[in-house]
Amino acid sequence: MGLIRRAASLASVPVSTGARLAGAATATAFGADRDAVYAKATAASVETLTAALAKARGPALKFGQALAVFSSALPPEQAAQLTALTRLYEDAKPQPLKTIEKQLAQLPPGVTVEPEAIAAASLGQVHRGTWTDGTPVAIKVQYADAPKVVKADMLQLRAMAPLVGRLLPTLDVKALIDEHAERLIEELDYTHEAEWQESFRRAWEPEGIVIPKVLMATKTILVTEWIDGTPFTALANEPAHRRDAAGRALARFCFWSPRLVGATHADPHPGNFRLLDDNRLAVLDFGSVADDSGLFTHLFAQTLILTTEGRDDEVLDAWRDAGLVAESTTTAQLIEMLDPDVRPYSREEFTFSREWLQGRSQQFQDPVQALQGASRLRFPPDYLLEHRAVMGTVALLCGLDATVDFRHVIDGVGDEVAHA
């Protein structure tokens, strides 16, 4: 989608929504049922918003996926529309080699590039190739207009902020957009991604998790070792022991990265993970990383551990320290609202399944809705990427139907809590 078409599509959202809400106000003034007319206007607005974000892809789609964290604050039908964005991955028609010749000219002599891209998105594409010494490589190339796409999308997203604020009044939309913009700027510089990839590789190599070595990085091109393996999207038909191995390694990678690296891989979709023939986990794409992380991961572990041990007052202390509940909130109110499902932690092994995911309580998927009764929650922006990583990991475990000794994984994350 071209810049002009993208801008027009996104710009239409606040215009059409404003008209609907104005119409609802007028209808109410003339005696129409307020709840009914506003519900209809809101439903149509959510449909328009999600359709525009999905169509735009790129930065706009990523914002919608971050927004979907809070979708349960909406009525079920509207929440389902917004949540559907999390199942969309960026897919775009690859550009021909001639359009990225300037970027490819940065490669040293002797590097070969296969002409057909193996993956493409709105900001760049990936080609297989061969390094100067014959090593198979993945070559990630950024499009020349990527900065313009990001700038244009962010302008339109900021224009949408009042609309989103009306749909999700408990959310600090401006803070969410600012955080999103900051991360996108980082993602446009591939040297930043390369530094994180090497940090994760060095930290996890002794632990048996494979991360491709970076061979070259500039702002617009990234060359890494090629990793073969079975993508998570193809693991459904693999034997149970393979899926269980993938699940345990994935859980360890997510929950221990804040301690080992000080950061969390924040793009947990199936295409970024491979299971090798020897059952080791391989992790790809470090363009989205939550740095200085550990806040939400630790809170997640604290809540499971303390609740299992009946230390409910300490759960309240942890949530207060995190700034997520008001001082007036009581222990009983918080425990009732969280209604934590501790089964994965309380058993020696637990099988994550789609059925469990659909039926589990919404306390971590939707902190806004869970705490509405006690306070007007402002979910801190520095929690957002890490929250996405944790809950995305849980969703991937359920997609694998993996049996994991989850308690042992979490115990490592929350040692100081368990032994306090």
* Residue 207 falls inside a structural domain: no
* 3-class secondary structure, 286: coil
Tens of pLDDT, residues 176-232: 777 777 777 888 899 999 999 999 999 999 999 999 999 999 999 999 999 999 998
pLDDT recorded at residue 3 = 46
Kindly state the tokens that stand for 226. 């090629």
| Domain identity same for 177 and 251 | no
79: left (phi over 0), alpha (psi -120 to 50) or beta: alpha
* Residue 137 falls inside a structural domain: no
Residue 308 has pLDDT above 80, yes or no: yes
| Domain identity same for 285 and 396 | yes
Choose one of 187, 219, 239: the last residue of a domain: 187
| Domain identity same for 252 and 171 | no
* Residue 201 falls inside a structural domain: no
For 68, residues 6+ apart whose C-beta sits below 8 A from its C-beta are 82, 83, 85, 86
Residue 350's DSSP bridge partners are 404
| Domain identity same for 179 and 249 | no
* Residue 203 falls inside a structural domain: no
| Domain identity same for 254 and 175 | no
> If you compute the radius of gyration of the chain from its CA atoms, what whole number of angstroms results?
22
pLDDT recorded at residue 415 = 53
Confidence of residue 43 (pLDDT cuts 50, 70, 90): low
| Domain identity same for 163 and 272 | no
Pairing verdict, β 124-130 and 119-120: antiparallel
pLDDT recorded at residue 266 = 87
Listed residue (25, 57, 56, 20) closest to 40, CA to CA? 20
Torsion of CA 201, 205, 211, 217, to 10 degrees: 30
Confidence of residue 250 (pLDDT cuts 50, 70, 90): very high
| Domain identity same for 281 and 176 | no
Angle, alpha carbons 69-391-393 (nearest 5°): 140
Residue 86 has pLDDT above 60, yes or no: no
Domain assignment of residue 179, given as a range: 3-92+145-187
Q: Structural domain tally of the chain?
A: 2
| Domain identity same for 161 and 239 | no
Q: What is the 3-state secondary structure (H, E, C) of 279-299?
A: CCEEECCCCCEEECCCHHHHH
**Rounded to two decimals, what is the model's pTM?**
0.77
| Residue that is written with structure tokens 């078409």 in the block | 5
| Domain identity same for 171 and 267 | no
pLDDT recorded at residue 52 = 65
Listed residue (417, 370, 327, 389) closest to 73, CA to CA? 370
* Residue 272 falls inside a structural domain: yes
Tens of pLDDT, residues 121-150: 778 889 999 999 999 999 999 989 888 878
**Quick one: average pLDDT of 313-331?**
84
* Residue 138 falls inside a structural domain: no
Distance of CA 335 to the CA centre of its chain: 26
Confidence of residue 91 (pLDDT cuts 50, 70, 90): low
Residue 393 has pLDDT above 60, yes or no: yes
Please tell me which residue, 419 or 397, carries the higher pLDDT value.
Answer: 397
Distance CA(327)–CA(317), nearest Å, equals 10
Choose one of 187, 210, 241: the last residue of a domain: 187
Length of the chain in terms of residues written: 420
Listed residue (136, 365, 403, 53) closest to 251, CA to CA? 403
Distance of CA 388 to the CA centre of its chain: 4
Where is mean pLDDT largest: 153-167, 222-236, 406-420? 222-236
| Domain identity same for 175 and 43 | yes
Residue 278 has pLDDT above 80, yes or no: yes
Distance CA(296)–CA(302), nearest Å, equals 10
pLDDT recorded at residue 47 = 65
pLDDT recorded at residue 40 = 65
Look up residue 96 and give its DSSP letter.
P
Give the whole-number percent of the chain exceeding pLDDT 70. Answer: 66
Kindly state the tokens that stand for 107. 């490669």
* Residue 382 falls inside a structural domain: yes
Listed residue (280, 289, 302) closest to 261, CA to CA? 289
* Residue 243 falls inside a structural domain: yes
Q: Count of H helices and E strands in the chain?
A: 18, 13
Choose one of 164, 187, 210: the last residue of a domain: 187
Listed residue (309, 317, 308) closest to 340, CA to CA? 308
| Domain identity same for 161 and 20 | yes
| Domain identity same for 176 and 303 | no
